[in-house]
C-alpha cells in the first residue's frame, strides 16, 4: 500500500539571469539557464523533494550566464536545470492561481521558466533577469478506482475487504483516513495465463457537506478521482451524523449530498461509471434502509424525493448499486463488477492480451 503523504508542493522559481556584456569590446554576456520539468512515469513525488534536499528546499533555480570579459568576449551560457516530476503533475502559478502547464506526457520536457538574455548591443549590454514566480506543483493520482464517501462510511474497510492482505487503518470515528492511500486489487488467472491484471484503488479521506466550499479536508482530495476510470460511492446504510450537534443524514440523503459535492467540484466527473455501495447492511434494519435507497434511485428524478439541501442538479445514474457489509467481507460481487466495468472501458485490454504489454501500474506519489 502507498500512502500519499504529499500531493502539493510550493516552490519559488527563478531562471538564470543573463550575464552582462562588455560594451567597449562588443562582448556578449551568456544567456541565463532555463528551468524545465521532465515528466516521467517512473518518478515519485517524494523523489522530487529528494532532488532538492541538498540544495535550497522550495527553490528552483538555474545558473546565471557568465559576463563577457576582455579575455572571453562571449560569456558562457548558464546551465539549464531539469527537475524530474511524476507524469500528471499540474503546475499552478501561485501568484495568479492559474494553471501554467499539465505535465501529462511521459518523457516530455516542459519549459517552466526562461532564463534572461545575455547583455548585448540590443539591451545596452545589460544582462536580463530570468523569469521568476511562485508555483504550486499539484499531483493527481492516476488510479483505476477512487473511493468516495462521508467519514466513517466504511471506505477503508471496503478497501481492506478488496485487498485483505494489506494493513489498513480502520476505526469507528470520522476522519480516520487523513491521506489518500492506494492499494492494488489483483485478479488471478483472469487475463491470459499470467494473471497479470490488477487495478489500483485509492481510498480518500471522507467528504462532508459543503466540501466544495472547502469545509473539511475532503475537498482537496477530490482531484485524485479526476483521472480515475471508476468511482465508488460508499454510504452507511444507517446514515451519518458528524457530531452531536450536526444534522443527521439518512443514507439516501448522503447519496444526494455526495452527488452534489461531486457536481459542484467538477460535473464532468458524473460521466464516469459510478458504483454505489450501500454499506453496513449487517446492522439491524439496514437491509430495509438500503432497499429504500435503491427504490428511491429507481425514480428518474430521484433528487426531488430528498430535502432541498441534499438535492443534486444532475442526478447520477449509477452503474450498479450493491448492498455490502464490508466488515464481514460481503461485497456482493464488487470485485467482478469492477473488472467488468474496467474491460468495458478498455476493450483492448482483454482481447488478445498477450500482444500487449502488461498494464504498467502507474499511480505515482
- Decide if residue 170 touches ligand GTP (CB under 6 A): yes
SS3 for 161? helix
- Decide if residue 171 touches ligand GTP (CB under 6 A): yes
- Reading phi first (left if > 0) and then psi (alpha if -120 to 50, else beta), residue 329 is in left
Which is nearest to 100 in space by CA: 92, 110, 88? 92
Q: Which stretch binds ligand GTP (CB under 6 A): 10-18, 279-287, 296-304, 336-344?
A: 279-287
Q: Could you give the CA distance from residue 113 to residue 144 in angstroms, rounded to a whole number?
A: 33
- Decide if residue 146 touches ligand GTP (CB under 6 A): no
The torsion angle over the Cα atoms of residues 185, 339, 267 and 308, rounded to 10 degrees, is -90
Binding mask 282-301 for ligand GTP (x = CB under 6 A): xx------------------
* Cβ-based nearer residue to Mg ion, 43 or 228: 228
Candidates 29, 151, 256, 273; binder of ligand GTP (CB under 6 A) is 151
Residues 6+ apart with CB under 8 A from 134: 10, 11, 12, 13, 93, 94, 95
In whole angstroms, the minimum distance from the beta carbon of 274 to Mg ion comes to 19
Q: Measured at the alpha carbon of residue 133, what is the angle toward residues 130 and 135, in degrees to the nearest 5?
A: 130
The cell numbers describing 291, all together, are 432497499
Q: Could you give the CA distance from residue 199 to residue 184 in angstroms, rounded to a whole number?
A: 5
Q: Could you give the CA distance from residue 21 to residue 257 in angstroms, rounded to a whole number?
A: 63
In whole angstroms, the minimum distance from the beta carbon of 290 to Mg ion comes to 20
Site for ligand GTP in 174-203 (CB under 6 A): 174-177
In whole angstroms, the minimum distance from the beta carbon of 327 to ligand GTP comes to 4
- Decide if residue 156 touches ligand GTP (CB under 6 A): yes
Distances in Å between the Cα of 308 and the Cα atoms of 104, 150, 210, 260, 286 are 39, 19, 14, 11, 24
SS3 for 344? helix
- Decide if residue 334 touches ligand GTP (CB under 6 A): no
In whole angstroms, the minimum distance from the beta carbon of 231 to Mg ion comes to 16
Q: Which stretch binds ligand GTP (CB under 6 A): 173-181, 240-248, 262-270, 300-308?
A: 173-181
The cell numbers describing 167, all together, are 494493513
Candidates 67, 85, 148, 153; binder of ligand GTP (CB under 6 A) is 153
Q: Which stretch binds ligand GTP (CB under 6 A): 17-25, 172-180, 251-259, 332-340?
A: 172-180
In whole angstroms, the minimum distance from the beta carbon of 297 to Mg ion comes to 24
* Cβ-based nearer residue to Mg ion, 156 or 250: 156
- Decide if residue 157 touches ligand GTP (CB under 6 A): yes
Q: Which residues bind Mg ion (CB under 5 A)?
A: 156, 176-177
**Residue 130 contact among ligand GTP, Mg ion, none, beta carbon within 5 to 8 Å by kind:** none
Indicate the angle between helix axes 334-345 and 155-162, nearest 10 degrees: 80
Q: Could you give the CA distance from residue 267 to residue 278 in angstroms, rounded to a whole number?
A: 22
SS3 for 77? coil
Residues in touch with ligand GTP (CB under 6 A) = 149, 151-157, 170-172, 174-177, 205-206, 279-280, 282-283, 325-327
Amino acid at each position: 500500500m502507498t500512502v500519499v503523504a504529499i500531493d502539493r508542493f510550493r516552490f519559488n522559481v527563478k531562471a538564470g539571469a543573463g550575464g552582462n556584456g562588455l560594451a567597449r569590446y562588443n562582448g556578449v554576456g551568456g544567456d541565463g539557464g532555463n528551468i524545465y520539468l521532465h515528466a516521467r512515469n517512473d518518478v515519485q513525488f517524494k523523489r522530487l523533494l529528494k532532488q532538492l534536499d541538498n540544495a535550497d528546499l522550495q527553490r528552483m533555480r538555474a545558473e546565471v550566464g557568465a559576463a563577457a570579459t576582455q579575455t572571453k568576449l562571449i560569456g558562457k551560457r548558464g546551465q539549464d536545470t531539469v527537475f524530474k516530476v511524476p507524469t500528471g503533475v499540474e503546475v499552478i502559478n501561485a501568484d495568479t492561481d492559474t494553471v501554467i502547464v499539465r505535465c501529462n506526457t511521459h518523457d516530455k520536457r516542459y519549459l517552466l521558466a526562461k532564463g534572461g538574455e545575455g547583455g548585448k548591443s540590443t539591451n545596452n549590454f545589460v544582462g536580463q533577469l530570468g523569469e521568476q514566480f511562485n508555483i504550486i506543483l499539484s499531483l493527481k493520482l492516476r488510479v483505476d478506482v477512487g473511493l468516495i464517501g462521508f467519514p466513517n462510511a466504511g471506505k477503508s474497510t471496503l478497501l481492506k475487504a478488496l485487498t485483505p492482505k494489506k494493513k489498513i487503518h480502520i476505526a469507528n470515528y470520522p476522519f480516520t483516513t487523513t491521506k489518500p492511500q492506494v492499494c492494488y486489487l489483483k485478479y488471478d488467472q483472469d487475463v491470459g495465463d499470467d494473471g497479470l491484471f490488477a487495478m489500483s484503488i485509492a481510498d480518500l479521506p471522507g467528504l462532508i457537506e459543503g466540501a466544495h466550499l472547502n469545509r473539511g479536508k475532503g475537498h482537496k482530495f477530490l482531484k485524485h478521482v479526476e483521472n480515475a476510470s471508476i468511482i465508488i460511492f460508499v454510504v452507511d446504510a444507517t446514515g451519518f451524523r458528524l457530531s452531536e450537534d450536526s444534522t443527521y443524514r439518512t443514507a439516501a440523503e448522503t447519496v444526494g449530498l455526495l452527488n452534489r459535492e461531486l457536481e459542484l467540484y467538477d460535473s464532468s466527473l458524473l460521466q464516469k461509471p459510478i458504483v454505489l455501495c450501500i454499506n453496513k447492511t449487517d446492522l439491524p434494519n439496514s437491509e430495509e434502509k438500503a432497499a429504500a435507497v435503491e427504490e428511491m434511485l429507481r425514480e428518474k428524478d430521484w433528487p426531488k424525493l430528498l430535502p432541498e439541501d441534499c438535492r443534486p442538479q444532475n442526478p447520477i445514474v449509477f452503474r450498479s448499486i450493491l448492498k455490502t457489509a464490508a466488515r464481514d467481507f460481503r461485497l456482493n460481487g464488487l470485485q467482478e463488477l469492477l473488472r467488468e466495468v474496467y474491460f468495458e472501458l478498455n476493450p483492448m485490454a482483454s482481447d488478445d492480451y498477450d500482444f500487449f504489454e502488461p498494464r504498467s501500474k502507474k499511480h505515482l506519489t
